[in-house]
């Protein structure tokens, strides 16, 4: 007899994703829907999708979702959560969406202590639009708008969103995880679960950052991209729990 | 010793090779043929040596890998 020890979650629809080979969006999508499935909340969860590579998330995740204007997912999620206080509400956002155009929304949603969870995919570049410099692009990292590497004298410094949000009293759970190894993925799944648990207990705003890979726009193979996460991204974006409820 | 079966849905695979990179026993290889999407999919070799660690399945961004354990009735 065959006992399944790993099967693709029914939280993901069996359709082909628009992600490039080796893009870790597929992993973070799966972790969120797998966790909702394990909690038995697939039918009750409401997702707020971003603009960016994950713009089609509503076609891949087997949960009710709404699509929000660029960066405004936290504002939409605040409204959804206030109308449906007993449903699990989450936003799924990339770094261009959350850390650039949606900076005000995410900071104020966290400051108000809105009771939803945000999953932030940080791949240090604008993916969908063709690899432009993002607020999270590392110093010296090349992109199509910083072709000789990000010059911090001209373009400033990358934003560490977890550290920023953890200073706000409304944010009760803030963690950064890295999707660069099976151990990292296992840790990320625990973080997703904790974020939803915090929300279920109505403690306040919960936030998980996935340090992710963008092999296509980094110009690396998928395997080299996960090495890049470890060697270049993690020294700047150290994983860890920045804030956790007592 | 437990025996594990690794099933790779070759038409879901995009050939990123993350599974091949993270398999601690190096059991995953890249197929010589091309799948419906035009990628060279991953395939399992020496399946009997699989230890069921799930590293490949955890890293697969496309949900192409399922793992089963053979158990006696």
pLDDT tens for each residue of B12-58: 999 999 999 999 999 999 999 999 999 999 999 999 999 999 999 99
B21: CATH: 3.30.70.20
Show the domain range for B14: 3-70
Q: What angle do CA A120, A231, A212 make, to 5 degrees?
A: 20
Chain centroid, CA B26 distance in Å: 10
Give the pLDDT of residue A98: 95
The answer to whether residues B12 and B26 touch, using CB atoms and an 8 Å cutoff, is no
> Quick check: B59 and A12 CB within 8 A?
no
| Dist. CA A242–CA A21, nearest whole Å | 31
**Overall pTM surpassing 0.90 (yes/no):** yes
DSSP string over B2-69: -EEEEEE-TTT-----HHHHH-TT--EEE-SS--TTS---EEE-SGGG-----HHHHH-TT--EEEEE
Q: How many CB atoms lie within 10 A of CB A145?
A: 15
pLDDT tier at A179, thresholds 50, 70, 90 = very high
> Quick check: A6 and B17 CB within 8 A?
no
**Cβ-Cβ contacts under 8 Å, A224 against chain B:** none
pLDDT tier at A101, thresholds 50, 70, 90 = very high
Number of domains in chain B: 1
Pick the CATH number of A25-243 from 3.40.50.970, 2.60.40.10, 3.40.190.170, 3.40.50.300: 3.40.50.970
Task: Name which of A5, A186, A223 is nearest B18 (Cβ-Cβ).
Answer: A223
**Cβ-Cβ contacts under 8 Å, A2 against chain B:** 5, 68-71
For chain A, the average pLDDT equals 95
Task: Please indicate if any CB of chain A lies within 8 Å of the CB of B30.
Answer: no
Closest CA to A5 of B56, B54, B39: B54
- Hey, is A42 helix, strand or coil? coil
Q: Is the pLDDT of residue A8 over 80?
A: yes
The tokens 């995919």 sit on which residue?
A: A121
Name the E strands within chain A.
2-6, 46-49, 64-67, 89-94, 117-122, 171-178, 205-211, 240-243
């Amino acid at each position: 007899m065959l006992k399944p020890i790993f099967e693709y979650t029914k939280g993901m629809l069996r359709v082909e994703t628009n992600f490039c080979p080796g893009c870790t969006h597929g992993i973070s999508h799966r972790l969120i829907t797998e966790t909702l499935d394990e909690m038995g909340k697939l039918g009750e969860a409401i997702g707020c999708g971003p603009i960016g590579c994950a713009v089609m998330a509503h076609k891949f995740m087997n949960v009710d979702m709404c699509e929000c204007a660029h960066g405004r997912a936290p504002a939409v999620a605040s409204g959804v959560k206030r109308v449906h206080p007993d449903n699990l509400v989450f936003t799924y956002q990339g770094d261009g969406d959350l850390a650039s155009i949606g900076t005000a929304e995410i900071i104020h949603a966290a400051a108000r202590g809105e009771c939803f969870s945000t999953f932030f995919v940080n791949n240090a570049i604008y993916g969908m639009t063709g690899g432009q410099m993002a607020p999270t692009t590392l110093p010296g990292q090349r992109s199509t708008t910083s072709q000789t590497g990000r010059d911090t004298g001209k373009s400033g410094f990358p934003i560490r969103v977890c550290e920023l949000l953890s200073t706000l009293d409304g944010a009760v759970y803030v963690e950064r995880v890295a999707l660069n190894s099976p151990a990292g993925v296992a840790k990320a799944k625990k973080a997703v679960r904790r974020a939803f648990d915090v929300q279920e207990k109505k403690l306040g705003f919960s936030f998980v950052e996935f340090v992710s890979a963008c092999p296509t726009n980094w110009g690396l193979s998928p395997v080299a991209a996960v090495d890049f996460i470890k060697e270049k991204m993690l020294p700047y974006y150290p994983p860890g729990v920045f804030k956790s409820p007592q | 010793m437990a025996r594990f079966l690794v099933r790779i849905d070759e038409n879901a695979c995009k050939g990123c090779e993350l599974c091949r990179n993270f398999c601690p026993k190096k059991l995953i290889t890249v197929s010589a043929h091309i799948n419906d999407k035009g990628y060279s999919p991953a395939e399992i070799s020496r399946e009997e040596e699989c230890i069921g660690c799930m590293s490949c399945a955890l890293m697969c961004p496309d949900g192409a890998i399922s793992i089963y354990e053979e158990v006696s009735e």
